[in-house]
Amino acid sequence: MKNDIKEIETPTGKYLTSFQRKLLQKSLQEDLPDSYRQRIQIMLLADEGKFQTEICRILGCCPATVRHWTHIARAGMAHQWQECPIGRHKTVSDRYLERLQELVSHSPRDYGYCFGRWTANWLCKHLAKELGIKVSDRHLTRLLNQMGLSTRPQKTQVEENANSKNQQSKISIQDLKTNDSQENAELLYFNPKSKI
């Protein structure tokens, strides 16, 4: 009976379990972005006992990347390779952007503030309090620019305010014209430093 049962021998690696190794090898057969493929290859090469410099040369990646993914394999977490997404994790959701657009289109007074115009700083504070997502003022300004919005008043509003102020004033400045040269001769000159 012992002859009928065949043991499947799998090569033992340095860091990975047989389950992890099979999972990674199977994942390599899928259509993956290059950076995900590189992660898997680093862990498999490290498991084979390749040195960091060899892996860097073979895959053309930096030593920090090799160190990180070798550490993941060594820690026994190679099967969780997809749980660490590529790039910076996205904190701003569609809901955040919709709420930002809604806030900018209304006065801060509508939300209980004493000022009449939003600033990037106050928008950040309000959204962090409301949605729990914190971003910097600069990032929020970039988001507004991408949406074609701004916290600054538009030129048309500034021009309208300037025009309405000019119309309300009662002082009119015009060029003075004189027709008679004798009127010019009758002008008195005033010297403020002289004593009267």
pLDDT number for residue 82: 77
Q: Exposure pattern of 43-52 as b/e (b: 16+ CB <10 Å)? A: bbbbbeebeb
The string of pLDDT tens digits covering residues 88-122 is 656 788 898 999 999 999 999 999 999 899 999 99
The share of the chain scoring above pLDDT 70, in percent, equals 68
Which comes out higher in pLDDT, residue 80 or 177?
80
Q: What stretches of the chain show up as alpha helix (H) in DSSP? A: 18-28, 34-47, 52-59, 63-74, 94-104, 120-131, 137-146, 155-168, 181-185
Which comes out higher in pLDDT, residue 46 or 90?
46
pLDDT number for residue 63: 94
- Total residue length of the chain: 196
Closest to 125 in 3D by CA, of 111, 110, 145: 111
Q: Exposed, middle or buried, 70 (CB in 10 Å: 0-12/13-18/19+)?
A: buried
Which comes out higher in pLDDT, residue 35 or 108?
108
Instruction: Report the largest interatomic distance among the alpha carbons of the chain, rounded to a whole angstrom.
Output: 137
pLDDT number for residue 14: 86
For residue 71, the one-letter residue type is: H
Phi, psi of 16 (to 5 degrees): -90, 150
Coil, strand or helix at 187: coil
pLDDT(169) > 80: no
Give residue for tokens 């002289």. Answer: 194
Coil, strand or helix at 34: helix
pLDDT(181) > 60: no
Tokens of 62: 């930096």
pLDDT number for residue 99: 93
Q: Which long-range contacts (CB under 8 A, 24 or more apart) does 112-120 make?
A: 117/151, 117/153, 118/151, 119/151, 120/144, 120/151
Give residue for tokens 């962090």. Answer: 128
pLDDT number for residue 196: 58
pLDDT(46) > 90: yes
If pLDDT is split at 50, 70 and 90, which confidence band does 166 have?
Answer: low
For residue 26, the one-letter residue type is: K
pLDDT(66) > 50: yes
- Please, are residues 16 and 73 in contact by the beta-carbon 8 Å criterion? yes
If pLDDT is split at 50, 70 and 90, which confidence band does 134 have?
Answer: confident
The string of pLDDT tens digits covering residues 3-32 is 443 433 445 688 899 888 999 999 889 888
Average pLDDT, the chain: 79
Q: In whole angstroms, what is the distance from residue 33 CA to residue 78 CA?
A: 17
